[in-house]
Amino acid sequence: MTLKDVRPGTTVTVEKILGSGAYKRRIMDMGITKGSEIFVRKVAPLGDPVELTIRGYELSLRKNDAECVEVREAAGSSF
């Protein structure tokens, strides 16, 4: 499952970041790294971007970038 598929109000854990080179590094520079917990706060009315809470700050991420982040359900959360 990718971050793009997660419903608002759900907490997930990052499993893997797809992509390579500068693109992957840009995602990691935003704080999205393997093992990080992400809370999906909300999705914009037209579906893009997605608002996330990660490492104590809010982050807006485009859907095409969210598609490159593989996640799994965090303990105690449900899809």
Between CA 48 and CA 73 the distance in angstroms is 22
- pTM value is 0.83
Each domain of the chain, given as residue ranges in start order, spans 3-73
Q: How many CA atoms lie within 13 A of 59 on its CB side?
A: 22
Q: What is the CATH number of domain 3-73?
A: 2.30.30.90
DSSP string, 12-75: EEEEEE---HHHHHHHHHTT--TT-EEEEEEE-TTS--EEEEETTEEEEE-HHHHTTEEEEEPT
Mean pLDDT of 21-25: 89
Beta bridge partners of 61: 50
Summarised one tens digit per residue, pLDDT across range 43-71 is 888 878 999 999 999 999 999 889 999 99
Q: What is the pLDDT of residue 76?
A: 62
